Amino acid sequence: MWLLSRLRLVDEAPAKLEAQYAPAVMDLPFTNNYWNTTGLNYGGGIDRVSAMQIPSVTRCRNLLSGVLAALPLELYNEKTGAELDAPVWLNQPDIRQPRAVTIAWTIDSLLFYGCAYWFVTEVEASTGRPSRFEWVQNTRVSPTLDATGHEVLYYTLNGKKLPMSGVGSLITFQGLTQGILSTGARTLQAALDLEKAASVAASTPMPSGYISNSGADLPEGQVQGLLAAWKSARNSRSTAFLTSTLSFTPTNFSPKEMLYVEGIQNSALQVARLCNIPAFYLSAEVQGNSMTYQNIIDGRRDLVALSLQPFISCVESRLSMDDLTPRGNCVKMAVDETFLRSDALTRLNVIEKMINLNLISVEQAQAMEQLTPMGIGDGYETNIL
Question: Other CB atoms closer than 10 Å to residue 194's CB: what's the count?
Answer: 17
Pair 98, 191 in one domain: yes
Q: 14-23, 145-154, 211-220, 284-293: which has the minimum mean pLDDT?
A: 284-293
Pair 30, 109 in one domain: yes
**pLDDT of the residue at 211:** 82
| H or E segment and range at residue 33 | none
**pLDDT of the residue at 6:** 46
Per residue in 61-114, pLDDT tens?
A: 999 999 999 999 999 999 988 889 989 999 999 999 999 999 999 999 999 999
Q: What integer is the mean pLDDT of 343-361?
A: 76
Pair 100, 201 in one domain: yes
pLDDT of 275 > 90? The answer is: yes
Pair 131, 52 in one domain: yes
State how many domains the chain has.
Answer: 3
Contact 312, 68 (CB under 8 A): yes
Pair 102, 176 in one domain: yes
CA-based nearest residue to 207, from 258, 247, 245, 244: 258
Pair 168, 216 in one domain: no
Cα–Cα distance between 4 and 16 in angstroms, integer? 21
Pair 189, 150 in one domain: yes
**pLDDT of the residue at 188:** 93
Pair 260, 120 in one domain: yes
pLDDT of 383 > 50? The answer is: no
> Among 220, 253, 286, which residue terminates a domain?
253
Domain range for 186 is 1-205+255-341
Pair 235, 374 in one domain: no
Pair 283, 244 in one domain: no
**pLDDT of the residue at 42:** 42
> Among 253, 283, 314, which residue terminates a domain?
253
Pair 68, 117 in one domain: yes
Strand pairing partners for 250? 209
> Among 223, 253, 283, which residue terminates a domain?
253
**pLDDT of the residue at 295:** 59
Give 382's pLDDT tier (boundaries 50, 70, 90).
very low
| Residues, the chain | 385
Pair 218, 312 in one domain: no
Contact 109, 115 (CB under 8 A): yes
Contact 86, 74 (CB under 8 A): yes
Contact 275, 54 (CB under 8 A): no
Share of the chain above pLDDT 70, in %: 74
Q: Which residues of 284-305 are buried (b: 16+ CB within 10 A; e: fewer)?
A: bbeeeeeeeeeeeeeeeeebbe
pLDDT of 356 > 90? The answer is: no
